């Protein structure tokens, strides 16, 4: 497996949808290629950092205002 | 895997009963669905439009549209996926209105390979949470996602922020599974590259 083949498998790798043969090849490539090892690790961190952080606030005041506006529209709309 | 597992086919999503009640005019049932998903719909709209006022309008419009079209919801997909699809369409429409000269669609910006091929091979050490406080980290994350083309931002939001499956993302966006996968790869790699400017290992030098 070369670096291009490795990149092509990256989505399936992260989504756990990679078959065993290819998984072994990805792991073997990463052991040999430091660049791809870094890409794998930092892409994994990219995904997890967005999963773990709420980057936009949703304060209670906004939620209540929004909720009231939605229900007002719906009650008047049908 | 647990040894004893109830058959998946017997499990009916709790939303199904609420949707049925709402279809018969039960506003309280619909209100419960609104409570369940208003946060998610607002978040999706804000990620795509990058604008809080737009996200507020879109959230209201998406729920109103869902309420009005409830009879058209057949239950082939999850209610939440159907709702997200409405919100995504409203969000993309809003972006189109904002930039009159440029079309914004799921097909935009996907022709070029540029920007996806890794260039930065520095490790992130120490890890970002150790370097930055919550506020500063939030700014970096918001700016990085803001810089992605809307089509990539949308796929990344549904798949990695909202944790929809690849199939649900494809359904919500009207794209094929391979198209979602290819956009997701590019979105993740472009974001990684953008974050790397901040998170890359420094060799004792000052912070940029």
Q: What is the pLDDT of residues B127-163, one digit of tens each?
A: 898 889 989 999 999 999 999 999 999 999 999 999 9
CA distance B208 to B205: 9
**ipTM for this model:** 0.94
Q: Are the Cβ atoms of A50 and B43 closer than 8 angstroms?
A: no
CATH 1.10.260.40 fits B105-208, yes or no: no
CA distance B101 to B95: 11
Amino acid B105: pLDDT: 59
pTM score of the predicted model: 0.89
- pLDDT cut 90: percent of chain B above it: 71
> What residue spans define the domains of chain B?
9-98, 105-208
Amino acid B50: pLDDT: 94
Angle at B37 between CA B148 and CA B13, to 5 degrees: 115
For residue A54, what are the contacts with CB-CB under 8 A and spacing of at least 6?
B43
Quick one: average pLDDT of B114-118? Answer: 72
Asked if A20 has any chain B CB less than 8 Å from its own CB, the reply is no
Element housing A36 (H / E): helix A34-52
Q: Which residue on chain B is closest to A73 by alpha carbon? A: B64
Closest by CA position to B35, among listed B57, B10, B58, B15 = B15
Closest Cα in chain B, distance from residue A55 (Å) = 6
Secondary structure of residue B208 in the 3-state scheme? coil
Query: Tell me: the pLDDT tens digits for A19-51?
Result: 999 999 999 999 999 999 999 999 999 999 999
B204 band by pLDDT with thresholds 50, 70 and 90: very low
Closest Cα in chain A, distance from residue B192 (Å) = 6
Total residues found in chain A within this entry:
78
Element housing B85 (H / E): helix B79-98
For residue B123, what are the contacts with CB-CB under 8 A and spacing of at least 6?
A38, A41, A42, B200, B201
Q: Are the Cβ atoms of B60 and A67 closer than 8 angstroms?
A: no
CATH 1.10.357.10 fits B9-98, yes or no: no
Element housing B88 (H / E): helix B79-98
């Amino acid at each position: 497996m070369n670096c291009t083949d490795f990149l092509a498998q990256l989505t399936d790798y992260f989504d756990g949808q990679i078959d065993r043969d290819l998984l072994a090849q990805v792991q073997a490539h990463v052991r040999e290629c430091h660049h791809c090892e870094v890409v794998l690790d930092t892409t994994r961190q990219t995904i997890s950092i967005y999963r773990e952080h709420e980057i936009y606030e949703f304060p209670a005041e906004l939620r209540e205002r929004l909720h009231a506006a939605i229900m007002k529209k719906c009650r008047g709309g049908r | 895997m647990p040894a004893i597992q109830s058959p998946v086919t017997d499990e009916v999503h709790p939303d199904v009963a609420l949707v049925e009640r709402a279809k018969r005019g039960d506003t309280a049932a619909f209100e419960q669905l609104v409570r369940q998903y208003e946060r998610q719909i607002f978040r999706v709209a804000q990620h795509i439009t990058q604008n809080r006022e737009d996200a507020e309008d879109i959230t209201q419009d998406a729920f109103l549209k869902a309420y009005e079209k409830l009879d058209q919801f057949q239950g082939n997909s999850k209610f939440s996926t159907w709702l997200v699809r409405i919100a995504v369409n409203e969000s993309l429409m809003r972006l189109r209105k904002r930039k009159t000269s440029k079309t914004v669609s799921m097909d935009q910006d996907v022709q070029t390979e540029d920007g996806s091929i890794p260039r930065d091979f520095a490790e992130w050490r120490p890890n970002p949470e150790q370097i930055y406080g919550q506020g500063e980290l939030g700014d970096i994350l918001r700016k990085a996602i803001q810089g992605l083309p809307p089509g990539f931002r949308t796929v990344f939001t549904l798949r990695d922020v909202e944790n929809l499956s690849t199939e649900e993302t494809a359904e919500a966006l009207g794209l094929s599974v391979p198209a979602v996968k290819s956009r997701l790869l590019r979105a993740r790699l472009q974001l990684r590259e953008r974050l790397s400017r901040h998170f890359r290992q420094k060799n004792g030098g000052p912070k940029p």
